[in-house]
Structure formats: structure tokens, C-alpha cells
Structure 1
């Protein structure tokens, strides 16, 4: 009787051991899966941080380029204004001399006619544009050009924001920013080079696949 009880106890212990061993293996398997997942996500996180750093560098390059373009626009606007002022001064002087020239030529032609000489050639024969209509036309164009052109609001706001960011500016860096190629990657379908952040290939219209595809869900332990 005692032997039977001992055997039964051993069987119960074996049954419990088997159950605990199965539970241990399940926990161990899940532990390894979670550890691998942690390591994979850590690796992905490092890649994402590197990607973010590259994007920030690219953003700064575009911000600096926009600031330089805005500075060039300001310089060109000043140059155009100065050229308009010089043109207008020259136009006024030309008009004044033309008004002085016309009656003087008429007087000279009259004096030449009195002594039997032919008239002098008209100024228009030497300068075809020098007619009264020329000055009327120039005056209209001058009034039109006095309307100050402005940048589109979106560009003006972006340029103003760019000016607030302090970025080193010298000749070498300026050339480097303007010559910096956009970040590219190879399309996995047509293998052509496309922009790194393009969600769809513009050439073959295939969706750009992620370097870290979504992991399938693990089946729940029963």
C-alpha cells in the first residue's frame, strides 16, 4: 500500500514537472522573441536617427539655399531700381534735348532755304526711334514699371524664416550647398534611382518598399 502511494506521488510530481517544464519552455521562447524584437527595434531606431540627421542636414542646405536666393533677389531688385533711375534720368535728358533740337533744326533749315541750300536730314533718318511717339511710349512704360513687384507671400514668409537661421556663409559652403545632389535610392521594381523619400516610384509607379517591413503578428499562446 505504501509503495502504491509513493508511486502515485512520483507520478503526480512527474506530471507537475512536465507542466512546469512546458510552461518554462513557453516563457523562454517568448523571452527570446521579445529579446530579438527589442534588438531589431533598437537597430531600426538607430537607422531612423541617422535618417533624421540626414533629413535635418538636407533641410539646412535648402534653408541656406533659399536664404541665398532671397539675398540675390534683394540685390537684383536694388540693381533694377538703380538701372531704372539711370534710364529715367537719361530719358528726361534726351527728351529735353529733343525739344531743344526740333525748333533749332527748323530755324537752321529756314536759314539754309533762304540761301538756296537743302534741308538737313531729319534726325529720324539717323535714329529711327527718335520721334515724338517714342517719348509718349516710354512715358507709359515708365509709369508701368514704377509699380513695385513683390514676392509671393509663401516665398516671402519662407525667405524671412530662412534669414532667422544662422548658417555659415562663405564661397565654398555656398557652392557645396548648391551642388549637393538630392538623396537617392534604387527602386526595388525597376531599379532606377529615385528620391529617397518617394513613397511611389515616378517611373514605374510601384510602391516604395520599406527597408524594415512590418513584422507579422505572432500567434497568441493557447
Structure 2
């Protein structure tokens, strides 16, 4: 009976201590999350619109000319685009932005009403044959949703920040393709655009795990290189401007 009472007392004390630790951590979570929310909602959006530090303006992203050279097995596309404009990267809505200091992870969800491209194109398409096409093109991902989680670790002594993984899961509500002259027949041209729309939609929505793994392998080492020897406090100071 005495041993059981001791166990109960230990658990009670541990729960009180856990509450004492959890409460200030939760307050810090809310504080840091609000800082990140403000940074992403204002500073990042402004950076996309103005560029800086060698990074061009990304919202909108414009290019007067760009060559194309795509090869996948027997299928090849060579050509060029003119007056390329990508819009919508700054139009995101922040659904979730939560920094969990206890679990060392950032959970986020962004929604883009429309990320779209307009351009003029010339293309030589072939797979044992050659078809030349040219004209205007409009392509849009509507209701593009990006959910994800960034997990990190802090050194026990150095407090240096290391990104463990970056998981990003995209999905799209609707794909709109209006590419001229895929066929000289208007009805067939519309059908080919519908095939493009369905292909892109299925590729994005049915391969979220593949996309998450690909982004993780691509971005995690890049982020760690950029962070270098900085601590979490250093990065927060950079974000807040202090």
C-alpha cells in the first residue's frame, strides 16, 4: 500500500512539473508562431514582389526568352518561349503556421488561389516524328494547397540548428490549360488541353508522397548549408530584424 502511495505521489509531482514546463513552452510556441506568421505574411510576400540579394522579382516572374529542351525516352520537345509571365506566388493564404518548440517542428499549410503562366511558344515535338507548333499559352493551377512539416534539431552544447527533414504535400483543386495550336482543329485542340489538365491533376494529387520525398532530398541539404553555424536564436533575430 505504501509503495502504491509513493508511485501516486511521484506521478502527481511529475504531472505538476510537466505542467510548469509545458505552460511556458506553449506560450513560447504561440509567440514564435506569431513572429513567423507575420514574417511569412508580410516580409516574405514583399520579398517575392521586390526581390533582392541577387534574387530576381518572383511575383510576377518574367522572362523575355527561354529555350526548351525536354527529353523523356523517345519523346522530345525542343523550342522556346517568349514573354513568359508566372503570377500568383505572392497570393498565398496562410491556413496553418505553428512552431512546436517541444517537438522541434514547424507545421504549415498554404493555399494559392491561382498560380498561372502566360506565354508565347514555339515547339518541335517528336517521338520518331516531328510536329511543329506555335502560339499563345495559358496554364493555371487553381486552389493549389501546400501542407507540410519541417523538423529540426538543436545541438546540446552548441545549440546549432540542423534541419532533419522537410516534408511538403501538394494538392490541386483544378488545372486549367489553354494552349493554342496543339491541333489545327478547334475541337481536337480543346480535347488535347483536357488531357493535359487531367494528366497534371493526377500527377500532383496521386503522387504526394513522391513529391514530399523529392522535396526533402532536394531542400534539406540546401537549407543546412544556408544555415551554417547559426543557432535558432540567430535565425529568429534575422527574421525579426533584431
TM-score, normalized by the shorter chain, greater than 0.5: no
Is the strand fraction higher in 1 or 2? Answer: 2
- Whichever structure has more helix as a proportion of its residues is 1
Question: Larger RCO: Structure 1 or Structure 2 (Cα < 8 Å, ≥ 6 residues apart)?
Answer: 1
Structure whose alpha-carbon radius of gyration is higher: 1
TM-score (ref. length: structure 1):
0.29
